[in-house]
Amino acid sequence: MTKNTGIHNFRPLILDVAVPLGSYYVFKDVFGMSTFGALAWSSVVPALRTVWGLVKERQTNALAGLILVVNVVSLLLSFVSGDPRLMLAKDSGVSSVVAFGILASVWLGKPMMTAGMKPFLVKGDAVKEAAWERLVSGASVRSAAFRTKEKEFSVVWGLVLLAECVARIVGAYTIPVDTMVWLGSVYLVGAMVIGFVVSGGLAVEPMEKMLAAEVEAAEAGTPEVAVAA
């Protein structure tokens, strides 16, 4: 794995997720900005990335766009005030935006969670990168199955986050406030664990095997090309 290839594979996660999230905490905790100010300034990079994708590359940067929408929703929710249960319920707003964004990306044929999964399967290996491109382009006999699993990976995460959102809302109005204050974090951790376990068994493991088979076929000099019906 070369340094440049590794950085290239992780670049979407670094620019579209790590930078906005990290800058939010830097602006808020280091520079002492208000929550509103930190959210606004941390939205600059995803906003620029979204505009750049639309203007320069003629395509939507789904991940940057989602982070931008999440920040906008968070900004709007920062104005929400009221009884403690409403304040607890509003935390589900961000989860719901992310969940619907992921599910919408699957419906549009561009599963958003692929950006987070691909680097861990390809691991900066040029041969695996080429095999991945064959699989997602439809050039391999395994392409249909591979792309189905790719969509299933995002569907799992979309549904898990949506369920976490519903659980937060129900809990906010049925569970004692003092309990829900810490239980909300348990919901999130539980959702993450379920997401990793289910998506790993349902999608990641089969995709990893198909990727390995594609690499093996290419190295043997007998690439299995899909035949048009």
* 3-class SS of residue 134: helix
Q: How much is the pTM?
A: 0.76
Is 60 exceeded by the pLDDT of residue 5? no
pLDDT exceeds cutoff 50 at 227 = no
Q: Is 60 exposed, middle or buried (0-12, 13-18, 19+ CB in 10 A)?
A: middle
Q: Give the per-residue pLDDT at 1.
A: 46
- Average of pLDDT values for 93-122? 87
Which among 143, 136, 146 has a CA at the least distance from the CA of 203?
146
The residue-averaged pLDDT of 199-225 equals 86
Please tell me the predicted confidence (pLDDT) of residue 61. Answer: 64
d(Cα 87, Cα 177) in Å, to the nearest integer? 10
Per-residue confidence (pLDDT) for residue 144, from 0 to 100: 93
Two tokens, residue 33: 């900005």
| Cα end-to-end distance, the chain, whole Å | 37
Rounded CA gap, 191 and 220, in Å? 41
User: Which of 34-43, 57-66, 154-163 is modeled with the greatest confidence?
Assistant: 154-163
Average of per-residue pLDDT across 36-54: 76
3-class SS of residue 140: strand
Question: By three-state DSSP, how is residue 108 classified?
Answer: coil
Average pLDDT over every residue of 209-219: 91
Q: What is the mean pLDDT of residues 17-35?
A: 75
Q: Does 229 have pLDDT greater than 50?
A: no
By C-alpha distance, which of 54, 227, 51 is closest to 144? 227
What average pLDDT does the chain have?
81
Write the single-letter amino acid at 115: A
Task: Report which of residues 33 and 83 the model is more confident about.
Answer: 33
What mean pLDDT is predicted for residues 109-113? Answer: 88
Q: What is the DSSP letter of 111?
A: -
| CA gap 1, 158 in Å, rounded | 31
3-state secondary structure of 107: helix
Mean pLDDT lowest among 111-120, 156-165, 204-213: 111-120
Distance CA 72, CA 89 (A): 17
pLDDT of residue 219: 82
Look at residue 18 in the predicted model and tell me its pLDDT: 67
H helical segments located in 59-140: 62-77, 84-89, 92-107, 114-122, 126-137
Give the mean model confidence (pLDDT) for residues 189-217.
Answer: 93
> Given pLDDT bands bounded at 50, 70 and 90, which one contains residue 213?
very high
Residue 200 has pLDDT above 70, yes or no: yes
Q: How far apart, in whole angstroms, are the C-alpha atoms of residue 187 and residue 181? A: 11
In the chain, the percentage of residues whose pLDDT exceeds 70 is 80
